[in-house]
């Protein structure tokens, strides 16, 4: 099944809030080898003007991957997840993610194309606080490999 191009522009409902924990940030930073003290030590982060530890720049993937299930699991769109490979990811920050943030995601399908028998799906996830303060926009492109 190919991706349905009529989904371009579709926006999904906001996700439930995700509470960003200090230990989650530390664990993520350790897992990716991010050694900046601001990712691990609240005092180091405060010395830089942040209220608590600061998440590494790719941390929003933790939240947006879960939120993307809205899109991936939409049967009418036609994503066969067993055929998906990651194509691209980029971030545009308004401000850093810090421990204590309560984040909400809104997913929008920005582009659907087909090339060489493969489907390309680009999504934008706008991440904001539960109070509505913008934090980061995350674009993701996945490739749905065609049948061999």
Per CATH, the architecture of 5-21+55-144 is what? Answer: Roll (3.10)
Query: Domain-by-domain residue ranges, the chain?
Result: 5-21+55-144
Task: Round to whole Å and give the CA distance between 137 and 97.
Answer: 12
- pTM of the predicted model over 0.95: no
Task: Round to whole Å and give the CA distance between 24 and 98.
Answer: 11
Per-residue model confidence (pLDDT) at position 1: 57
**Mean pLDDT in each 10-residue stretch from start to end of the chain (148 residues)?**
90 97 98 98 98 97 93 90 93 98 98 94 98 98 88
Per-residue model confidence (pLDDT) at position 148: 66
Distances (CA, A) of 121 to 58, 67, 94, 97, 136: 20, 15, 24, 26, 20
């Amino acid at each position: 099944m190919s991706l349905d191009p009529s989904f371009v522009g579709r926006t999904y409902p906001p996700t439930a809030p995700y509470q960003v924990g200090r230990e989650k940030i530390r664990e993520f930073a350790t897992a990716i080898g991010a050694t900046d003290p601001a990712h691990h030590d609240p005092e180091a982060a405060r010395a830089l003007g942040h209220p608590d530890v600061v998440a590494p720049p790719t941390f929003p993937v933790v939240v947006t991957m879960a939120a993307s299930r809205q899109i991936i699991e939409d049967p009418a769109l036609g994503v066969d997840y067993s055929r998906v490979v990651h194509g691209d990811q980029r971030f545009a920050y308004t401000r850093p993610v810090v421990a204590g943030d309560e984040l909400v995601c809104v997913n929008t399908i920005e582009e659907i194309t087909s090339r060489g028998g493969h489907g390309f799906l680009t999504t934008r996830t706008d991440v904001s606080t539960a109070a509505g303060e913008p934090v980061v926009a995350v674009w993701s492109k996945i490739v749905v490999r065609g049948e061999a």
